[in-house]
Structure 1
Amino acid sequence: MVRHNNQLPNNLTQLQNLIKRDPESYKEEFNQQLAHFETTLEIFNLNPTQYNKKLDEQSMFLAQVAQCYLEDMKFFPQKIIDILKSHNTTLHNDMRLALCKCLILLRNKNFITPFDLLELFFNLLKCQDKHLREFLKTHIITDIKNMNMKHKDMKFNSTLQNFMFSMLRNSDTKAAKLSLDILIELYHKNIWNDQKTVNIIADIGCFSKVTKVMVASLKFFLGRDEAEKEENSDSEDEVDPRDTMIANKFNKKTRKRDKMVEKVKKVAKKLKKKKEKAPVFNFSALHLLNNPQGFAEKLFKLMESSNERFEVKLMCLDVISRLIGLHNLFLFNYYPFIARLLLPHQREVTRILQFVAQASHELVPAEIIEPVMRAIANNFITERNSTDVMAVGLNAVREICARCPLAITEDLLRDLVQYKNYKEKSVMMAARSLIQLYRQSMPTLLHKKDRGRPTEASLELKTKKYGDMDIKDYVPGSEVLLEKKDITEDEKKKKKGNKKKGNESDSDDWVDVNSDESEIDISDSDENSDDGEEEEEEEVVEEEEDNDEDAGNKGNQPESNEANIDNVNTRKTLKAKRKLNKEDIAEKVETARNIAMETIFTDEDFKRIDAAQVKKHVSGVKRNKSVVEDEEESGELVQLSAIENIHKKRKHDKNARLESVLKGREERDKFGYKDRRKNIHCSKTNREKRKTKNYQMVKHKAKGKIKRSFKDKQIAFRNYLIKQKKMK
């Protein structure tokens, strides 16, 4: 069938649409375009450096309709591949990109296997075309993601992974870097997040001779640190939207309150979006390493002998410290190496202190980590340094001791604790946080006056030695489940009545501690009694020492004998109390062990157990529940903010003050008289102008208008009429 005035050969878009609708009717036009493509290709091969628009359009047209003529298009993909293989570096950038798009279209229609296309694209990375490399990287990631969308073909994935791993060893820097970027992106997208991928990046990427590849691999193991960004959020998130909105209903309407309401509305929207978002769990790749000890040793050896930049060495130290702390590794050469860097003037010294804390765990021997502690104490915690340096040093000691309590000696700890009464608040707070840490872990290392009032939790603590593992065969605090959960109203009334009677009859206050409630009511007399017992015990010990000395020097005297007898009686009473407490604890442990063998705990049970455990920390001490919970929590990694946490409001310089003033003026109406003009360029009224004039100019008008008489009005009107007649 011959078509007269056929415009289709020149309009490829229309022809493409018609062929997809009815391939058989337009077979002749298709063959004509295929023949044109062959001719254009031969011409292009003579000069491949020039961009050929006709070849671009024809190749894209044929790729679009390839599925309609499978037999005719069987060898078409190979022709495009041959062009790219033979002229990959000499091709024009636009021509090369157009042919790659054509091949991607054919890959989506299953004309090319993904492995063949992947191999070709990695060969194209030799080209000096950054835009092309980004385009190919995006396609490879998307293609592999789509192939694993419904189900994972393990055999095919293994073949692709082996090819990518071989490209990591490629001598071409760009190919190695791109293959690493693709592997990391696929890991973060939870497509290739297996042990094989992580260990290949560790074994090949981290020890690559190419610095870019090495740095990218180290960053992969350090993670994205999204948790820190969330913690360092703005103060806006601290505003409670509901309270502010309710308060605004009853308060006087002002511009400041209106701004606050608008601000709160924005915060409420952010909070709502956060709640609606699904939680993201970023599992660290460091957990998936097969041989963390060998990897840490090899990386440390490489770092010692390398001549890389200081920033790269810091990254290596960071990865090694995380490995040591996470897997409880033994790398004793690490501590003397990093101790040499612990100087106040050292670059990034707070990060280095963070690495020391991360590399601390309970299995590190005290003699290995003690030189590090001495270096921090001698170089940071001395009065010749600034208070900020001292506070940072104390914070670093606290973070190390939180993970390795035996890292510090008793003498050094007691010396550092003396800063609890220092004149600067930053140093004082850092020293008190160290005291609080050891009150919760090993109070015996502290001086008796710093141990605080004994609690149930502190009585349960045991002095740890190196290598001791406190493994319990019961759920601590589960003994509370035996007690009654609910108290009837009658019992409550009886308790209230007994309490009133007790207050009337007894001169001293009394304490009611219910085991099934999380809140504890502690009276002042209980505090005084506990403090009294503690002071009494100290006095007994001191008097006993004095009496022993007197007995050695002066001999036995009747008065000293009587004093010794009183001291012995007091000491026996205190020992009896301690023994009773220990017996109670042993009984509770046995009860908890029996419950654990017989009971399946529910969520409500665990809530009661948690409340009981919290109460053990606060019984006998007036402290907030939230403080105890915060002290007990410690993550896998040390936050840099924990070391740089300085309790001090810094003085602002002139520039900082000016910046805060200008920031406060933003979105604020200009101060001054509001003249109610919609257009500031229009003129003012005489009344408004009068406000800026000198008083002498307007004092005659300040008296106000004088009401005229009827006769004066007549005279004025007559004069007006005479004037009008004269004007005519």
Structure 2
Amino acid sequence: MSDKNRNKLPSNLPQLQNLIKRDPGSYKDEFMQQYRHYESNLQIFHLQPSTYTKTLDELVLFIAQVSQCYQEEVSDFPQHLQDMLRQHATVLDKTMRMTFCKALILLRNKSLIPATGVLELFFELFRCQDKLLRKTLYSYIVSDIKNVNFKHKNAKLNTTLQNFMYTMLKDNNAIAAKMSLGVMIELYRRNIWNDTKTVNVIATACFSKVTKIMVTALKFFLGHEEGEKAADSDSEDEDDKKKDKSRKTSKELILGNRVAKKTKKRQKKLERALQAMKKFKKKHKSESFNFSALHLLHDPQDFSEKLLKQLEATNERFEVKLMMIDLISRLVGIHGLFLLNFYPFVQRFLQPHQREVTRLLLYVAQASHDLVPPDVLETTVKTIANNFITDRNSGEVMAVGLNAVREICARCPLALSEDLLRDLVQYKTHKDKAVMMASRALIGLYRRVNPELLHKRDRGKPTEATEEQKNIQYGDLNAHQAVPGAEVLSSKIELDNEQTGEADDTKEGWESCSEDEDDDEDGWIDVHHSSDEEETEDPVAGLTLEEKRKKAEDISTNRILTQEDFRQIQHHQARKTTESASKGKGKRKHIEVDDDENSDRLMLSTIENVHKKRAHDKESRLSTVMAGRVGREKFSHGPQKMNPNASTTNKEKARGKNFMMVKHKLGKKKGKRSFRDKQMALTKALLRRQKKN
């Protein structure tokens, strides 16, 4: 028999694997032969676990592939792999270690082993100095836990793994702890483990002694992750540094384009490079989380106090301190905490020359709320006014200081004293537009919240909103008995009457129309619409404050308000701030209400909102030029044809021809001849004429 037809099943594992999956019973003896071969190789491998054995590598994957066909025979096989990885994980050859892990993954996918033991083992393998292995295990752990909780939450497994991860976060190996933290954050991001226990386990990582772990946990609560994964070992750090050196930043590209000649080609090339870099960053940028994690903390007061104590004693970089300050300020603002030592700590950094000072001002505004004692914030506001809002500083610095004071006072109006407020209001006529706009915005704020602190000339025209405004006192509970502004709606009785009246009006209208048809066939019928009056008349005009309050309480308790009702109330409340309190003296311009506006979240742009006209660049100048050409006749040079469809001359046609078509004519152009040349030409012409005659 030739070699082609000879049976090679003992040595051809892929062929045997295919046959076993088709007919397991017929090839049981061949499988048992290979399994005994595996056991003998495994005993030899125990003697030298750091060496690579190709035979054992192939046998392990073979048995894992067909294990579902002989479950009783391979019952000890998963335990062999787990014991090998637990005993020799750090000394195993990386190829063999990856093979054992892949075999366990195959067995787990076939539901031949429970998830708890395998996943706990994979978490322990994060200690290995093998980046590819950690990346593979990370992806599998996340996907496996997701599949387990796909149909319904597996509370028993989740609790067991969360308790195990809590111990892993305290592991001496920083890489294993950071990878475990990354798994929990990824599961929270995918809404798999979005419970309070996960959030509070991650919160413990904010006090880790390892900077990378602490920064990862801080960024989780702040709503963003690291743009690029930090390296897990010294060798990985070197690789990342090499990659960063080879990849230019957007700032380097812009600076490199400044020193050469400005051409459209170079500009387009720069734009393409910046666009490609933007796509790269967007692709590698993690999704932002919502702020629900901050609401799931068990004890935010204790957590913020511990974080502040750590901040005061830390020697970390300034960027890390900024993140800790940001998290503390968000906790204080969201939960209304009392953390009085926080404001004097941040107050030390509130100087115009301080790096990232606008962010620090933002964090002070975030940590402000109406329950903070006014004298605590008053000191901070005075520091901002003394350091920023002075004539010795530039207009931008003064505007930033005024914007910061406005945002603090929007959350705690009593933080600004009457004397200081009237001093800051004087900048409403400042020559710098940014300062002027910031000062007027501060005036507009106190016209709404506490107009009594302003000078009489700065309070503006009284409106309905100011009539209803009460003097603010510290600790006052602003409890409403009804929905504010509900008096603009119709009560339940009025709605029933309107529906009945509309039906009667409709019936009478049809009857009157039928009668008028006989009397006046050629005439027009005047139809009165009630909606015309609703657009011009105020439904609550002429009511006193007490009557409005009673009507609002009646409507709030006896009616179910719809979204349209709330929108109508919102517009009515906005109209109160613009309409004069005394009817007949005119109205201010109505302000439209933006339903999508989210004023609860404070953005950095509100602090840096400096109104200053910027210099025109080439694109803005070109857009201005093109806008000026709209509606204007097309500019043309020289005399124009009376008939634009008339034919052109040869000279005009030559302008549109290719250069090779007309270059032979360029050297034959006639020039001006001298008088001597004209004499000679005339003589030759006369001689030629005589010869012809």
Deviation at 1:122, TM superposition (A): 2.6
Deviation at 1:512, TM superposition (A): 8.9
Q: Counterpart of 1:436 in 2: which secondary structure?
A: helix
TM-score, length basis structure 2: 0.72
Counterpart amino acid of residue 340 in structure 1: R
Counterpart amino acid of residue 349 in structure 1: V
Specify which of 297, 301, 308 is matched with residue 309 of structure 2: 301
Q: Any conservation in 2 of the 1:41–1:55 contact (CA below 8 Å)?
A: yes
Q: Counterpart of 1:361 in 2: which secondary structure?
A: coil
The corresponding residue for 2:509 is: none
Deviation at 1:76, TM superposition (A): 1.0
- Whether 1:638 aligns to 2:661 is no
Alignment map for 1:289-688 (pairs within 5 Å):
289-482=297-490, 490-491=527-528, 513-515=536-538, 584-620=544-580, 621-626=587-592, 629=594, 634-635=599-600, 637-651=601-615, 684-687=658-661
Alignment map for 1:164-179 (pairs within 5 Å):
164-179=165-180
Deviation at 1:280, TM superposition (A): 9.9
Deviation at 1:180, TM superposition (A): 1.2
Deviation at 1:105, TM superposition (A): 0.7
Distance 1:5 1:495 in 2: 99
- Whether 1:223 aligns to 2:244 is no
Deviation at 1:377, TM superposition (A): 0.6
Q: Counterpart of 2:435 in 1: which secondary structure?
A: helix
Bigger helix share: 1
Q: Any conservation in 2 of the 1:690–1:698 contact (CA below 8 Å)?
A: no
TM-score, length basis structure 1: 0.69
Distance 1:630 1:423, change over 3 A: farther
Distance 1:482 1:494 in 2: 14
Q: Counterpart of 1:411 in 2: which secondary structure?
A: helix
Distance 1:319 1:295 in 2: 10
Select between 347-356 and 149-158 the one with higher mean Cα deviation. Answer: 149-158
Distance 2:15 2:295 in 1: 57
Q: Deviations over 1:487-541 (max 9, x none)?
A: 9984459989xxxxxxxxxxxxxx9952269xxxxxxxxxxxxxxxxxxxxxxxx
The corresponding residue for 1:268 is: none
The corresponding residue for 2:513 is: none
Q: Counterpart of 1:197 in 2: which secondary structure?
A: helix
Q: Any conservation in 2 of the 1:223–1:284 contact (CA below 8 Å)?
A: no
What CA RMSD, in Å, does the superposition of the two structures yield over aligned residues? Answer: 3.3
Deviation at 1:697, TM superposition (A): 6.5
Q: Deviations over 1:296-331 (max 9, x none)?
A: 111101110121211111111111101111111111
Select between 354-363 and 32-41 the one with higher mean Cα deviation. Answer: 32-41
Distance 2:312 2:288 in 1: 37
Distance 1:57 1:494 in 2: 84
The corresponding residue for 1:113 is: 114
Q: Any conservation in 1 of the 2:351–2:357 contact (CA below 8 Å)?
A: yes
- Whether 1:196 aligns to 2:197 is yes
The corresponding residue for 1:675 is: none
Counterpart amino acid of residue 196 in structure 1: K
Select between 171-180 and 50-59 the one with higher mean Cα deviation. Answer: 50-59
Q: Deviations over 1:190-218 (max 9, x none)?
A: 1111111212222x211111111111111
Q: Deviations over 1:453-508 (max 9, x none)?
A: 21111211111111112211112222222388999984459989xxxxxxxxxxxx
Deviation at 1:187, TM superposition (A): 1.2
The corresponding residue for 2:104 is: 103
Distance 2:362 2:412 in 1: 14
Q: Any conservation in 2 of the 1:516–1:612 contact (CA below 8 Å)?
A: no
Distance 1:306 1:88 in 2: 36
Q: Counterpart of 2:187 in 1: which secondary structure?
A: helix
Counterpart amino acid of residue 69 in structure 1: Y
Q: Any conservation in 2 of the 1:56–1:98 contact (CA below 8 Å)?
A: yes
Distance 1:468 1:225, change over 3 A: farther
Counterpart amino acid of residue 205 in structure 2: G
Distance 2:415 2:355 in 1: 25
Distance 1:608 1:490 in 2: 27
Deviation at 1:32, TM superposition (A): 2.3
The corresponding residue for 1:209 is: 209
Alignment map for 1:17-166 (pairs within 5 Å):
17-166=18-167
Q: Any conservation in 1 of the 2:427–2:439 contact (CA below 8 Å)?
A: yes
Counterpart amino acid of residue 145 in structure 1: K
Distance 1:341 1:86, change over 3 A: same
Q: Any conservation in 1 of the 2:428–2:439 contact (CA below 8 Å)?
A: yes
Counterpart amino acid of residue 338 in structure 1: V
Q: Counterpart of 2:489 in 1: which secondary structure?
A: helix
Q: Any conservation in 2 of the 1:419–1:431 contact (CA below 8 Å)?
A: yes
Distance 1:40 1:699 in 2: 106
Distance 1:283 1:298, change over 3 A: closer
Distance 1:605 1:302 in 2: 49
Distance 1:119 1:64, change over 3 A: same
Q: Counterpart of 1:186 in 2: which secondary structure?
A: helix
Distance 1:216 1:50 in 2: 37
Distance 1:99 1:660 in 2: 66
Q: Deviations over 1:546-601 (max 9, x none)?
A: xxxxxxxxxxxxxxxxxxxxxxxxxxxxxxxxxx98x7112111121122232222
Deviation at 1:414, TM superposition (A): 1.4
Deviation at 1:625, TM superposition (A): 2.3
Distance 1:17 1:8 in 2: 11
Distance 1:335 1:698, change over 3 A: farther
Q: Any conservation in 2 of the 1:198–1:288 contact (CA below 8 Å)?
A: yes
Deviation at 1:168, TM superposition (A): 1.2
Q: Deviations over 1:20-45 (max 9, x none)?
A: 11101111221222122223323433
Counterpart amino acid of residue 572 in structure 2: A
Q: Any conservation in 2 of the 1:479–1:592 contact (CA below 8 Å)?
A: yes
Q: Counterpart of 1:128 in 2: which secondary structure?
A: coil
Select between 280-289 and 346-355 the one with higher mean Cα deviation. Answer: 280-289
Q: Any conservation in 2 of the 1:325–1:358 contact (CA below 8 Å)?
A: yes
Q: Deviations over 1:692-712 (max 9, x none)?
A: x58946999xxxxxxxxxxxx
Q: Any conservation in 1 of the 2:225–2:288 contact (CA below 8 Å)?
A: no
